[in-house]
Structure 1
Amino acid sequence: MPQHRLTRRAFNLTAGAAAVTLASPSLAQPAWPSKPIRIVVPYTPGGFTDQMARLVQPGLQARLGQPVVIDNKPGANSQIGVDAVAKAPPDGSTFGVVIAAYAANTTLYPKLPYDPAKDLVGVSLMGVSPLLAAVNNDAPFKTAKELIDYARANPGKISFGSSGNGSAAHLTTELWKALTGTYMIHIPYRGAVPALTDLLGGQIQLFFDAPTGLINQGKAGKVRLIGVAGDKRLPAVPEVPTFIEQGFAGFTGSTWAGMLAPRGTPREIVKRMSEEVARIIQLPETRAKLDAMGTFPAGSTPEEFDAFIAAETRKWGDVIRRAGVKAD
């Protein structure tokens, strides 16, 4: 065969192969996921954030066909774990689950090791958990109104606990103080468990916290649940009214859980993960578990979650600046 015909044939074969490659993106890059997925939880095992991550873990493994590993990286009010996500390769192998403290940290810490706007993107809002307010059984008030009347008549006589400076519990109580014009003493703890212990013992009189930590204590009669800081009652404790129902218009405060990814993660991967998380969150068996936790299921698009984070950052930033809250 003449040389020029061989050359032309080789050119045609090469061009044809290139056309197939361009027409078939799946041949140009491996399908996702092609390796195990890591979900970083910036808190210790057993807490609300960890529970939410483990709630979707089995479903993600089944649907994505790869192991999904929970990696707990606590410390610095979630900064260590979030920084690990921000600096991870944006290849769809690393995600993170965060809570309301993530939005508050933007104002609390002027020098974060990561830039929330530049280093991370939202994947999906997973669930919203309005805080419950509990008071010690021996406290001289039994309702939200009685508590406020007592606080106004006795400035500084009520101590309230939180799981730490800048936590959702702390900021929600500061918001309530501003709304009601009261002065109460803040006692920060290193976690919700010691705060609850002191509430039971009477060292503090008031504690706002995620429902997971208070529902069983309230049902057992060990504390008195006086209100839900949301716009509707919790299915797990339907007898407890919202603060809005009790005359505190517009008062809401919650923790929430949502998934993030390193910025630069391919958009189709972020979208796929968002869809899978939302699908798992809305399953009847998942919703039943969330109900028991006092958490309303969400499941959002990445764009919706980004907008939600921006709104939360503004809301809690205003509270932090007005109350003069400082990080530990």
Structure 2
Amino acid sequence: MPHNQNPGQNHGQNLGVEPPATGTARAAHGSWFPWLRTLTAATLLAVVPAIAPVLPASAAYPDKVVTIVVPFAPGGGTDTVTRILAEQMSKDLGQPVIVDNRPGAGTIIGTNIVANSAPDGYMLLMASFAHAVNPFLNAKLPFDTEKAFAPVGLVAKSYNIAVVNTSSQFKTLSDLIAYAKAHPGELNFGSFGNGTSAHLSAELFNHLAGTRIVHVPYKGAAPAVTDLLAGQVQVVFSSVASVSGHIGSGSLRPLAVTSAQRSKAFPDLPTVAESGVPGYVSDAWYGVYAPAGTPAAVIDRLNASLNKAIQSDAFKKLETVEGLVITPGTPQDFAAYVHGEAARWRDVVKSQNIKLN
């Protein structure tokens, strides 16, 4: 800069702004300050709009539709429970919560969709018994069950119920056991897919009762129950929600519950253990997961909404009619429960050499 050039003039020229007319020595620079304040404000106003688009959005969760993937065909117990949950959570979250049925491969197809979804809380999984046992039945799962998911909350615990067609010759579970022992491999049991509670409950029954009833897997409860009604399979160890309507209408006959104690929903129905298979217990459950990496604040919001939903009148009705045990709690409570179930069934699968068909 030339020695005789005024620094103020250069400053204004570099910014593309012409400084105001000057007096001697700018009155000791006093007249500069209002102009600099104006320049600073004008410059910021010009720059901020250019920066703003790159700043992250801070929209409150949720601000769009939330999807819960059900890895079973429509019409089964998991589907029924999920649709009621979705309706109640939608009221609390202020956004639609929809159900997307993705059946197949013993729940692996639907589960894998969620495992590979964005961890933003908009794609969730309704998991069940199979989620805990699939790692022990499938050596090459397309996801790591322990690492791919973040627990949201346990919805309910339940049990299965052994049911036959009302035209069946079997009036009690003892009748079924006697016939199956005398005719190994002749009877079939339907399940909701490999690794589901309907599958493992029946396999555990085979092992402890000394029977050989052949497994026929389906893509969910609805097709399995449809074939039971049609006489294509002879027994299903079904979730209660999938068959309670058919039991009520008289088209299916319940033989026993798989829980350790009798059910409040079916107080006159014996347990499998009471029916001649001592030590038999098999529980079912429903719970929600998000993809791993979902922000903690989103998980907490979902957990609060889930806990509110399962304590609604709609779920209290399910508790009474379907025999569900509603279990509000934290994501940590849910994780601990599933880890316990996984450890128990890992030992069962190994000791009884249960394999997929």
TM-score between both structures, scaled by the size of structure 2: 0.75
Mark the structure with the bigger radius of gyration.
2
Q: 1:45 to 1:191 in 2, by over 3 A?
A: closer
CA contact (8 A) 1:128 1:296 kept: yes
Q: Which position in structure 1 is the counterpart of 2:221? A: 192
CA contact (8 A) 1:236 1:293 kept: yes
Q: Which position in structure 1 is the counterpart of 2:144? A: 115
Q: Which position in structure 2 is the counterpart of 1:284? A: 313
Within 5 Å, give how 1:143-292 maps onto structure 2: 143-246=172-275, 248-292=277-321
Deviations 1:74-93 (A, max 9, x none): 33332232222222222223
Aligned pair partner of 2:115 in 68, 73, 86: 86
Q: 1:317 to 1:300 in 2, by over 3 A?
A: same
Q: 1:155 to 1:246 in 2, by over 3 A?
A: same
Aligned pair partner of 1:50 in 79, 86, 90: 79
Q: Which runs of 5+ in 2 are unaligned?
A: 1-29, 41-55
- 1:320 Cα deviation from its structure 2 partner: 3.3
- 1:281 Cα deviation from its structure 2 partner: 0.4
Deviations 1:248-304 (A, max 9, x none): 444222332110011111223212211221121012332103433343222231111
CA contact (8 A) 1:174 1:319 kept: no
Return the letter of the residue paired with 1:222: S
CA distance in 1, matches of 2:337, 2:215: 28
Q: Which position in structure 2 is the counterpart of 1:15? A: none
Q: State the superposition RMSD in angstroms.
A: 2.9
> Quick check: 226-235 or 146-155, which moved more?
146-155
Q: Which position in structure 2 is the counterpart of 1:21? A: none
CA contact (8 A) 2:112 2:143 kept: yes
Deviations 1:169-214 (A, max 9, x none): 1210111122223333333344434443443454433221111232
Q: Which position in structure 2 is the counterpart of 1:293? A: 322
Q: Which position in structure 1 is the counterpart of 2:157? A: 128
Q: Does 1:99 align with 2:101?
A: no
2:147 aligned counterpart, secondary structure: helix
CA distance in 2, matches of 1:70, 1:297: 20
CA distance in 2, matches of 1:154, 1:315: 31
CA contact (8 A) 1:127 1:257 kept: yes
Q: How many residues align?
A: 308
CA distance in 2, matches of 1:198, 1:100: 22
CA contact (8 A) 1:43 1:73 kept: yes
Q: 1:202 to 1:83 in 2, by over 3 A?
A: closer
Q: 1:92 to 1:137 in 2, by over 3 A?
A: closer
Deviations 1:123-153 (A, max 9, x none): 1111223111013445554222343344344
Q: Does 1:34 align with 2:56?
A: no
TM-score between both structures, scaled by the size of structure 1: 0.81
Q: Does 1:68 align with 2:63?
A: no
